[in-house]
Amino acid sequence: MIPQTRKPGLRALELPPEFEDLTGLIAGDVKVVVSILAERASQRLLLTKKQARELQRALWNRLTEGIEDEIKPFSADRR
């Protein structure tokens, strides 16, 4: 039996306290963007279900990381 390597799951969107009331709204928007991009890629590139899931995971994690990194300088802790 081949051992499976566990891929990291979806990271949670964590915004500074000044923006945490927007977390749900932004997460919803990111979810829609990820779904649209993954669906289009699956159709155009004929991705397998596994590849589509991996693409969705990668898109989600990179987009949430990018949002967090860009908003951090605007938190009260950083000023």
Calculated CA dihedral for residues 72, 69, 67, 65, nearest 10 degrees: -140
* pTM, entire model: 0.84
10, 53 in Cβ contact below 8 A?
Answer: no
27-77 pLDDT, tens digit per residue, is 999 999 999 999 999 999 999 999 999 999 999 999 999 999 999 998 887
| Domain spans of the chain, in order of start | 20-78
Query: CA-CA distance, 46 to 42, in Å (whole number)?
Result: 5
Query: Which pLDDT score is estimated for 76?
Result: 80
